[in-house]
Structure 1
Amino acid sequence: MILRVKKLDKFIAKQFGLLFVGTFFICQFVLMMQFLWRYVDQLIGKGLTMDVLAQFFWYMSLMLVPQALPLAILLSSLIAFGNLGESSELTAIKAAGISLMQAFRSLVVIVIFIALGSFYFQDVVAPSANMSFSRLLLSMKQKSPELEIPEGIFYDGIPQCNLYVQKKDIKTGMLYGVMIYKMTDSYDDAAIILADSGMLQSTAEKKHLVLTLHSGEWFENMKSQEFSAGVSVPYRRETFVKKRIVLDFDADFNVADASALSNNARGKSIGQINRDVDSLNHVYDSVGRVFYKDAKMSYYSPVAVSKKDSLRAVKMAGTKTYSFDSVYSRLSADRKLEAVDAALSKVQREMNDLDFKGMITADGDKLIRQHKIEAINKFTLSLSCLIFFFIGAPLGAIIRKGGLGVPVIISVLVFIVYYIFENTGYRMSRGGMWAIWFGKSIATAVLTPLAIFFTYKANNDSVVFNLDLYRNFFMKIFGLRIKRAVFKKEVIITDPDYAADSATLTEVNREIGDYAREHNLWLAPNIIKVFFKYRPDHTIEEINEKIETVIEDLSNTKDKVILSCLNAYPFMAVKAHTRPFDRKWMNVVAAIIVPVGLFLYLRMWRFRLRLMRDLKVIRQTNDAVIARIEELNSSGTSKA
């Protein structure tokens, strides 16, 4: 069967493709700028050539491609279907009997290929780029060490030197409060140099560093040097006003050896990660077995116990009454003290040994977790391309706003949610607080139901982002009301029937009076009648229906006084003052659950008091409208 590609599929694919290319480069640029700020200090003032900088940006761009793809798909799908909805093309598509899922099908195929390409990119291209970037970054750090010297801590970036600077002037390059530990062949030949100030500069050929010091002292250990006649000098001390020290340092740019980056999990493919995880597990399992064997051999050795007592302990070991306390009680006071000291010493030694072994195994566990995280990340990042499409495309169809306004805002919000869950899961998995599969799948687990919900709503033309709907819902929950807005119509087709409306309002006034006298709305409602013996009460519903009918008819008037009176009519809650729920069993359950029943009872009493005020306002407004109608009728009669 030959796959048929319809014109609609081509049209939608073309719209999406052009936007995807543009948004991809935008997202790539934004991510690169954010990434660049982390390394800007290592680029400025290093004297790097243009080819090195070009390599830096090239490797950076390759590393960020898998992260830019999901964001570009989200933004481009939002804009594409937003444009279709805004130009009514999406409405025409649905009117032709084509569902939204049918309109998606060409893009689903394209996004699947993009996701597969993202996985291939992460497994083949990105690891090589990440390794090259790491090597390049390591070499850039070694380019000009005089700019890397921090304040307040020792800097070991210069070979055979540890340099401490109390304060640094960035503008002049002066170093203040300088302390240098200079080592040559061994620690016996170490020299300590103290100076008030100094300056570190590279030579022209970039092969040496010249350290110019002012007002200091030089202390050097001379233990390894022998003088004539067998006389040895333990150390020498020199005080200087100004001194220059030449340090060997090849600062010419060269790419660092990648052997130091062998544990970089991001620089490996799936196959390499699996092999390295197996190797790491084998190594650390071997280390664990060695630790266990050592502990097994060293934990049970008799200390400070005589041969006689040892034999007695061995004999008692086969009985149920064996106790170390009985053996300990037979010792003399000196032997007891000796045994306790030996035990404390042994426990402390074992604790230190376990701390050291725990540090070794903890590093191994962290390295293994890092490799497993990167392996799962290749799948989740590819899957996010598909998830972001099923978020962006339905949202675009629902919102129907194109351009870079609303789609950008929504894309940023969705990506922030994704980034928060993704980054949290990564950190918790890396630290061992969460399982790796849980931490790396939490972002996907959160966004997948969101994608399904938006796709379902868009496919069924459901209202999701109707702000008026949500506002009215919450206003109804909290008992808030909106004001009525009746304006003069420009074109009036049918004039209002003033006589019928006046008669209706007079009848409404009579019904309101009867209802108010019968129900005493200012009193608290009867709990038994409300929750257990409710009788239907539809009087207010009928009164409200009559008032709304009159308002609808009188809205066709040209008289400003009547229009002003119509805006004074309140919107009434016709059921809230009678009972909490329509079903009797729900009212009974609410009464049994005391806190819920109390809340509903007080809420209903509040609505009764509000209804009492509303009915008073309605009667006053009715009288004003009836009086105005009579004035209009009398003026019309006099004119006639």
Structure 2
Amino acid sequence: MKRLHSFILKSFLGPLAFTFFVCMFVLLMQFLWRYIDELVGKGLEWTVIGEFLFYVSATLVPMALPLAILLASIMTFGNMGENYELTAMKAAGISLQRIMKPLTILVVSISISAFFFANYVMPIASLKTTSLLLDIKNQKPELILKEGIFTNDLPNFSIKVGPINKETGMMYDLLIYDHRNRRGNTNVTIADSGTMVTSENNQNMTLTLYSGNMYEEVKVKSRNKKHPSRRIKFGVYETNVPLRSNKLKRGDEDRYNKNYRMLNLRQLQHSEDSLNKVLNKSKGLFIKGLIAKNYFKKDVKKLRKDSIKVKELLKKTKNVDSLFHVIPLDKQLRSVSNALTFARKTRENTSRKEGEFIAKEKYLKRFTNEWHRKFTLPFACLVFFFIGAPLGAIIRKGGLGMPVIISVLFFIFYYIISMTGERAAKQLVMNPALGMWISSIIILPLGIILTYKATTDSTFFNIENYIDFFKKINPLKFFKKKNA
């Protein structure tokens, strides 16, 4: 049995490693395609790009690992079924459960490791990725000159160039606005041609212009709106321009450490309890204020001396409606109008507060969703194995053809249900626990059914049986018999 278990493990680990790296590559390319505009032209060092891709890859593990396990299990058992190795094992009296036993232990170990990865590694990777992505977005792009377009990437300069000789680097028909004096477009230079050469340390750029004119508005202390200007004609003009540093400026990572994606289970529970206490306290204060100030409106004005009759009536009766009918008609109308105005303001205030409380509750539920996500990843790995292994034993097709198609269809089905449940939980339409676990709840019975069918050697997924069935009910044979 040790040799058999070793053979099964070797047959599984190879496809698992291959499919995992393929899934990671596909997901990573999808991420880069999404943020390609933020990365291109920033002059980033290869170490920064490598670090960023490493952190991004870590955040993509929850999607790649379950799909890799599903695909690898289908390929492994499909290959063994196609090569009649499963048939030989069953003929030797080895059941499918015993064949799956070493892989089950391995997948359970992977699931436990995935839990610790999601709880301790994923928050750090998400924090690093978010912080580094924002730093890259804030990084100024490199100086890229385009023909006929103004470029503002050079500090304190706005440059427009005409044709550019790519072989010599000579630029023609230059128009340069110098903003170093901080007084607007008061210094304009027009040159027939020119070159830009960057220093070895990339700290400065030497700008050399040929055959042109410089127009500058002179600043004078005068109330007259007219300002004198001067023109300087030159044959060769050279100046040094300081460049921006190409080194990435790192921001403080603590600005994101309170986000729900950057917390582990203990931190999520603590943050959720704290936010829940603050929310309940805000609701209690609002209810108390609503009862004290809005439920019954008191007149702050002092009663006049001639209102003795009203005081006597208040002592005699506790019914406010009877007092309302005592006052004159014009005061009744005024009271009703004031009451309606006050009620409308109260309703608007209550509606606004209700929206604020709902927004806070939605944000609070995200902590709950993230808490459950720590457990859905390892459970999905386990469920996908018990779907893929029996399914591969049933279809008996190895390679990358049929297993890839079936794995992608199953994963898309699982992913759609998972995203729908999570979105419903975020919108408070569904309980967070049910929303995060609904995909696993739906797909778990499928794994149980497939395991049962594979154990009983069911031919439910055998395509040849369906082909034979349709051959038996061939309508051409029916018409031949009828004509005969």
- Structures share a fold, TM > 0.5? yes
Which residue does the alignment assign to 1:343?
339
Matches within 5 A, 1:550-565: none
Q: Structure 1 CA distance, aligned partners of 2:124 and 2:101?
A: 34
Structure 2 segments unaligned to the other structure (5+ residues)? 158-178, 187-224, 227-243
Contact in 1 for aligned 2:42/2:141 (Cα 8 Å): no
1:482 is aligned to 2:474: yes
**What is the CA distance between 1:310 and its match in structure 2?**
7.6
Which residue does the alignment assign to 1:451?
447
Which digits, 9 at most, give the CA deviation of each residue in 1:112-157, with x for residues without a partner?
000000000000111011011111122122223899xxxxxxxxxx
* 2:75 maps to amino acid: I
1:328 is aligned to 2:324: yes
Sort the Cα spacing of 1:374 and 1:173 in 2 relative to 1 into closer, same or farther, 3 A.
farther
Sort the Cα spacing of 1:348 and 1:254 in 2 relative to 1 into closer, same or farther, 3 A.
farther
Q: Structure 2 CA distance, aligned partners of 1:361 and 1:58?
A: 39
Contact in 1 for aligned 2:257/2:263 (Cα 8 Å): no
* 2:55 maps to amino acid: Y
Q: Structure 2 CA distance, aligned partners of 1:40 and 1:212?
A: 37
Which residue does the alignment assign to 1:61?
57
Contact in 2 for aligned 1:81/1:393 (Cα 8 Å): yes
Sort the Cα spacing of 1:51 and 1:250 in 2 relative to 1 into closer, same or farther, 3 A.
closer
**What is the CA distance between 1:92 and its match in structure 2?**
0.4
Q: Structure 2 CA distance, aligned partners of 1:294 and 1:255?
A: 46
Contact in 1 for aligned 2:126/2:261 (Cα 8 Å): yes
Sort the Cα spacing of 1:282 and 1:250 in 2 relative to 1 into closer, same or farther, 3 A.
farther
* 1:416 maps to amino acid: I
Which digits, 9 at most, give the CA deviation of each residue in 1:156-193, with x for residues without a partner?
xxxxxxxxxxxxxx97796xxxxxxxxxxxxxxxxxxx
2:153 alignment partner, one of 182, 198, 201: 201
Q: Tell me the matched-pair count.
A: 402
1:39 is aligned to 2:35: yes
Contact in 1 for aligned 2:111/2:381 (Cα 8 Å): yes
Q: Structure 2 CA distance, aligned partners of 1:212 and 1:88?
A: 84
* 2:153 maps to amino acid: Q
Contact in 1 for aligned 2:42/2:139 (Cα 8 Å): yes
1:397 alignment partner, one of 380, 393, 398: 393
* 1:270 maps to amino acid: L
**What is the CA distance between 1:388 and its match in structure 2?**
0.2
Q: Structure 2 CA distance, aligned partners of 1:34 and 1:251?
A: 27
**What is the CA distance between 1:381 and its match in structure 2?**
1.3
* 1:261 maps to amino acid: Y
**What is the CA distance between 1:202 and its match in structure 2?**
4.5
Which residue does the alignment assign to 2:462?
466
Contact in 1 for aligned 2:43/2:246 (Cα 8 Å): no
1:418 is aligned to 2:418: no
* 2:155 maps to amino acid: T
Question: Which secondary structure state, in structure 1, belongs to the residue aligned with residue 133 of structure 2?
Answer: helix
Q: Structure 1 CA distance, aligned partners of 2:103 and 2:147?
A: 59
1:116 alignment partner, one of 112, 120, 137: 112
Matches within 5 A, 1:332-411: 332-411=328-407
Q: Structure 1 CA distance, aligned partners of 2:352 and 2:147?
A: 45
**What is the CA distance between 1:213 and its match in structure 2?**
8.0
**What is the CA distance between 1:481 and its match in structure 2?**
4.5
Contact in 1 for aligned 2:417/2:439 (Cα 8 Å): yes
Contact in 2 for aligned 1:304/1:342 (Cα 8 Å): no
* 1:364 maps to amino acid: K
**What is the CA distance between 1:278 and its match in structure 2?**
1.0
Matches within 5 A, 1:186-335: 200-203=152-155, 253-299=248-294, 300-303=296-299, 312=313, 316-317=317-318, 322=319, 324=321, 326-335=322-331
* 2:89 maps to amino acid: I
Which residue does the alignment assign to 1:104?
100
Which digits, 9 at most, give the CA deviation of each residue in 1:84-121, with x for residues without a partner?
01111111011101111110000000000000000000
Question: Which secondary structure state, in structure 1, belongs to the residue aligned with residue 153 of structure 2?
Answer: strand
Q: Structure 2 CA distance, aligned partners of 1:264 and 1:472?
A: 59
Sort the Cα spacing of 1:25 and 1:39 in 2 relative to 1 into closer, same or farther, 3 A.
same
1:88 is aligned to 2:40: no
* 2:332 maps to amino acid: K
**What is the CA distance between 1:68 and its match in structure 2?**
1.2
Question: Which secondary structure state, in structure 2, belongs to the residue aligned with residue 285 of structure 1?
Answer: helix
Sort the Cα spacing of 1:86 and 1:344 in 2 relative to 1 into closer, same or farther, 3 A.
same
2:433 alignment partner, one of 434, 437, 461: 437
* Identical amino acids, percent of aligned pairs: 38
Structure 1 segments unaligned to the other structure (5+ residues)? 148-169, 175-197, 216-236, 239-248, 486-566, 571-613, 622-640
Contact in 2 for aligned 1:304/1:339 (Cα 8 Å): no
**What is the CA distance between 1:251 and its match in structure 2?**
9.1
**What is the CA distance between 1:253 and its match in structure 2?**
2.8
**What is the CA distance between 1:392 and its match in structure 2?**
0.5
Sort the Cα spacing of 1:334 and 1:458 in 2 relative to 1 into closer, same or farther, 3 A.
same
Q: Structure 2 CA distance, aligned partners of 1:328 and 1:119?
A: 68
Which residue does the alignment assign to 1:70?
66
Q: Structure 1 CA distance, aligned partners of 2:24 and 2:183?
A: 45
Q: Structure 2 CA distance, aligned partners of 1:353 and 1:312?
A: 34
Question: Which secondary structure state, in structure 1, belongs to the residue aligned with residue 417 of structure 2?
Answer: helix
Q: Structure 2 CA distance, aligned partners of 1:440 and 1:257?
A: 32
Q: Structure 2 CA distance, aligned partners of 1:146 and 1:359?
A: 45
Contact in 2 for aligned 1:82/1:400 (Cα 8 Å): yes
Which digits, 9 at most, give the CA deviation of each residue in 1:47-72, with x for residues without a partner?
22222211210110111112211111
Sort the Cα spacing of 1:78 and 1:362 in 2 relative to 1 into closer, same or farther, 3 A.
same
Sort the Cα spacing of 1:310 and 1:172 in 2 relative to 1 into closer, same or farther, 3 A.
farther
**What is the CA distance between 1:348 and its match in structure 2?**
3.2
Which digits, 9 at most, give the CA deviation of each residue in 1:223-269, with x for residues without a partner?
xxxxxxxxxxxxxx99xxxxxxxxxx999632222343244211110
**What is the CA distance between 1:214 and its match in structure 2?**
8.2
Contact in 2 for aligned 1:422/1:443 (Cα 8 Å): yes
Question: Which secondary structure state, in structure 1, belongs to the residue aligned with residue 428 of structure 2?
Answer: coil
Sort the Cα spacing of 1:250 and 1:358 in 2 relative to 1 into closer, same or farther, 3 A.
farther
Contact in 1 for aligned 2:395/2:462 (Cα 8 Å): no
Which residue does the alignment assign to 1:139?
135
Question: Which secondary structure state, in structure 1, belongs to the residue aligned with residue 398 of structure 2?
Answer: coil
In our comparison, the structure showing a higher alpha carbon Rg is: 1
Contact in 1 for aligned 2:376/2:436 (Cα 8 Å): yes
* 2:38 maps to amino acid: Q
Q: Structure 2 CA distance, aligned partners of 1:447 and 1:426?
A: 16
Q: Structure 2 CA distance, aligned partners of 1:450 and 1:28?
A: 26
* 1:429 maps to amino acid: A
The two structures, once aligned, show a CA RMSD in angstroms of 3.5
Q: Structure 2 CA distance, aligned partners of 1:342 and 1:401?
A: 80
**What is the CA distance between 1:302 and its match in structure 2?**
2.7
Contact in 2 for aligned 1:173/1:199 (Cα 8 Å): no
**What is the CA distance between 1:83 and its match in structure 2?**
0.5
1:12 alignment partner, one of 8, 29, 47: 8
**What is the CA distance between 1:204 and its match in structure 2?**
8.5
